[in-house]
Amino acid sequence: MVENLTLSVSGMTCGGCENAVKRTLLKLDGVHDVTASHRDRVVTVRYETDKVGPATIHGRIESLGYKVTG
Ligand SMILES: [Cu+2]
């Protein structure tokens, strides 16, 4: 099953941050699409639920130094 996850993420300050988040998440098997906006502090992820889950996605974002707040 494919689902969309919308996360509130703080700490992104520019397009470079957005690209870092996108690149990192797109490396995960099962992640199909990622959008990131530092202005809106939002990351959306389209992913296959049988390959990857929210905990892994959260962990990758936080490993880059950003904070998932919701
Ligand atoms: Cu940045």
Kindly report, residue by residue over 46-62, the tens digit of the pLDDT.
999 999 999 999 999 99
CA of residue 15 to ligand 1 center, whole Å: 6
CA of residue 18 to ligand 1 center, whole Å: 7
Please report the pLDDT score of residue 49 as a whole number.
98
CA of residue 24 to ligand 1 center, whole Å: 14
Task: Specify the 3-state DSSP secondary structure of 58.
Answer: helix
pTM reported for the whole predicted model: 0.95
CA distances for 29 relative to 22, 32, 38, 43, angstroms = 13, 8, 24, 18
Task: Give per-residue pLDDT as tens, 31-43.
Answer: 999 999 999 999 9
- 11 φ, ψ to 5°? 110, -15
% residues pLDDT > 90 (the chain): 99
